[in-house]
Structure 1
Amino acid sequence: MSTLFASLGPALPDLEELYRTLHAQPELAFQEEKTALTVADRLTDLGWQVTTGVGRTGVVGVLRNGDGPVVMLRADMDALPVREQTGLPYASSVTAVDEAGNPVPVMHACGHDLHVTCLLGACAVLTAERDWQGTVVAVFQPGEESGYGARAMVDDGLFERFGTPDVILGQHVGPGPAGVVATCTGTVMGATDSIRVRLFGRGGHGSRPEATVDPVVMAASLVLRLQTVVSRSVAAQEPVVVTVGALHAGTTAAVIPDEAELAINVRTSSAAVRERVVELIGRLARAEATAAGATVEPEITSVYHLPATVNDAAATARVADAHRSFFGPQRVLPIPPTTASEDFGILGSACGAPSVYWFFGGIEPQRYLAASRAGRVDEDIPQNHAATFAPVVQPSLAVGVQAMVTAARAWLVAPGTPDGPADGNRD
């Protein structure tokens, strides 16, 4: 590792500018046309074999460098319908049209712009410093926030077209101190379900509620009752989150509408608990409709389900050893599983390859330390998906590149090298 990253230093100013450009030009899920074009152009300039339009707007780059293991590296590209409030000079002012045809502000509130930049930086380092053998498959995935992106690429023949890898590696920037890398063995991120509940009442004049079945009151009551799913129906040691992220009903103050709609998000860590929570949501919705005198049962729709992200034990140990060797043990930390969710795990489960997912910090270290000492991390440190979330450019960017390259090189070694596989066989 002594000579590794000789090429990174001179490339950092360009990567920093790329990051700022991507941040200022966010695109919603499956609308990542400009981002995909930028990725494809850069990979082409590096001499990679490039395929676009995989899973609609995804990009796959392949670099072969002799016989050896196949390592898949993944970054997500899409942004969120959030109005940016960071105050940065490169803040987004972009608006787009969502799937429902509504104009919405767009922001890279989850750091996918940094993920793309880090993976492109890793591709550049692996291109310039080829004292390794094997094949790298770089996957730039669309639509992670929609829940459909990884599945779309798999359904479009990702593994049939580009081969089954020996390992799949992914990373995510988070609200920790920049310079730190963290992960765990086993379940690292929980499963998630997006559920839509439509409640049907009987509309009428706001002056005569007694002649109606008010779906707004029904929905408000259901929101409150859903809080008991976690507090009264699930064991305290089970990590479960139930969130009502949206409630839509009516158009004006003096009219009681015919229906109301709730968008519900569920996070769980086991199949049995997930099944129970989803069943409880349906039961409570039906009970509220019955109590209100509704004559039509609620419509309960599963919008999407993402499985838990599970890190392979042996592969995680290899990645953690590589990270500790490069960054030092004080900067590579173990963490407990998080209730956040990802579609990254779909890739490994679809092809049977072991996968490893880790996090790296994006908050200026002194700022994080001050918040931690004051016991105000939740109040003072923006979380992913917040309108104020924006990773500090450095050292986040450099660490993201280094973490991806060192993890990849844990497999990409010359045949016969000690501690490395001599061929493409998995552990």
Structure 2
Amino acid sequence: MTVNENLTADSALADFYKDLHSHPELGFQEHRTAEIVAKRLTTLGFEVATGIGGTGVAGVLENGAGPTALLRADMDALPVREDTGLDYASTVTAPNANGTLVPVAHACGHDLHTTCLVGAAEVLSSDRSSWSGTLVVVFQPAEELGAGAQAMVDDGLYEKVPKPDIVLGQHVAPLPAGKIAGHAGASYAGSDSLRVRLVGEGAHGSMPQNSIDPVVMAAATVLRLQTIVSREIPSTDTAVLTVGSIHAGDAANVIPGEAELQLNIRSYTNGVRQHILDSVDRIAKGEAQAAGAPEEPTITEIERFPIVVNDADALGKTLHAFAEWLGPDQILDPGAGAGSEDVGILATSADAPLSYWLLGGTDPKLFTTGDMTDPALRTVPSNHSPHYAPVIDPTLAIGVTALVTAARTWLPTG
């Protein structure tokens, strides 16, 4: 697979991408994808380790003296029914963590990330005169679960591959294809998803005096939770608290015995994060006590993503190389994003700087200004939408070249 000079992916690279797109796999189920990637890396001369953290794959290519650069791609898909109309759209179903069969689609673009890194590995392995040092490529499972990077580290990733001096990676985004965006510092929010179980006492709907109504308790808790960000967090800080699920009871004339909330918190500093978590605990317990609940609520973690922090110097060095290649007008600063990622774990676990950027993947014809003020950013399909799919050209070619450019920038020849 190669990329030609007019930034159009050749048919082999496009076919590789289409195959992955039509065969998505959920987190920690990426067996087919991992096998294809491992075989490809082996043919390119990489030393390959498989099964890291379950389904993770890592390849090492040594090429003389120099630093070690790690390039990362994630492989997992989402429990989403694809509605793109593409002739290579996914029709796959698979069991989720509860064993329920669900539709699966690459609605976040991880198939593109994997394809770009495979393409970059081929370019770098075939032209070793253009770089010097050690190249590590990591294909990570379960990013959508916030668990894949930690699973690989816990399974001895850095005993199987050298610790990097720099961690590099990219994520396709609903920006115009041809644009690359990066933000220094806290770039992507930390995310905490929680389940709150509120216990009351059930009764017949006609006899509320015999109950301790968990529905009312849940409603009061939801309203009070919304005051955390608006009344407890300084206006100079940024945070989001969303209650995305409420469940209680199954009949109109029955007061149930318990209710469950599921909520998500986004934050950019550890101090703000801990304040919100403490406040959720305080409010849930306070509302339960006010209602006379027979027991305290239970609060359990569903998933957690750490705050992603781009090293300012490292990102600046990488984006400077991109600007020399694409032109400075093609490089954007998107500001801090509310989305979450676990790529930072690969960097912090190695005590290495992170340089992570967004890769535009949407048809440029849909945009007017083509920058972060473009109104189309609010209307084009975005990641996790059933309608989201990057355009193949020029996204694949630019994604490959971005990884190659970043690797050569950090693994210079002399």
Taking structure 2 as the reference length, the TM-score comes to: 0.93
CA distance in 2, matches of 1:324, 1:299: 51
Are 2:300 and 1:301 aligned?
yes
Counterpart of 2:27 in structure 1 is: 29
- How far does residue 51 in structure 1 lie from its aligned partner after superposition? 1.2
Counterpart of 2:64 in structure 1 is: 66
**Worse-superposed segment, 209-218 or 397-406:** 209-218
**Worse-superposed segment, 367-376 or 62-71:** 367-376
CA distance in 1, matches of 2:352, 2:372: 41
1:233-282 Cα shifts (integer Å, max 9, x gaps):
21222111112233333344444332222221111111111111111111
**Worse-superposed segment, 183-192 or 9-18:** 9-18
SS at match of 1:241: strand
- How far does residue 228 in structure 1 lie from its aligned partner after superposition? 2.0
CA distance in 2, matches of 1:253, 1:378: 42
Counterpart of 1:412 in structure 2 is: 411
* Change over 3 Å in CA distance of 1:386–1:227 after alignment to 2: farther
Counterpart of 2:192 in structure 1 is: 193
Q: How does 1:5-404 map to 2 (within 5 A)?
A: 12-131=10-129, 132-369=131-368, 376-377=375-376, 379-404=378-403
**Worse-superposed segment, 126-135 or 174-183:** 126-135
In the alignment, structure 2 segments of 5+ residues that lack a partner are: none
- How far does residue 204 in structure 1 lie from its aligned partner after superposition? 3.4
SS at match of 1:64: strand
* Change over 3 Å in CA distance of 1:151–1:214 after alignment to 2: same
Aligned-residue identity in percent: 51
- How far does residue 335 in structure 1 lie from its aligned partner after superposition? 2.7
8 Å Cα contact 2:124-2:404 kept in structure 1: yes
SS at match of 1:357: strand
SS at match of 2:368: helix
* Change over 3 Å in CA distance of 1:290–1:397 after alignment to 2: same
- How far does residue 302 in structure 1 lie from its aligned partner after superposition? 2.6
8 Å Cα contact 2:7-2:394 kept in structure 1: no
8 Å Cα contact 1:7-1:129 kept in structure 2: no
* Change over 3 Å in CA distance of 1:375–1:6 after alignment to 2: closer
Amino acid at match of 1:281: V
In the alignment, structure 1 segments of 5+ residues that lack a partner are: 418-427
CA distance in 2, matches of 1:104, 1:325: 45
* Change over 3 Å in CA distance of 1:388–1:268 after alignment to 2: same
SS at match of 1:297: coil
CA distance in 2, matches of 1:92, 1:188: 31
After superposition, the CA RMSD in angstroms is 2.3
SS at match of 1:351: coil
Taking structure 1 as the reference length, the TM-score comes to: 0.90
8 Å Cα contact 2:7-2:393 kept in structure 1: no
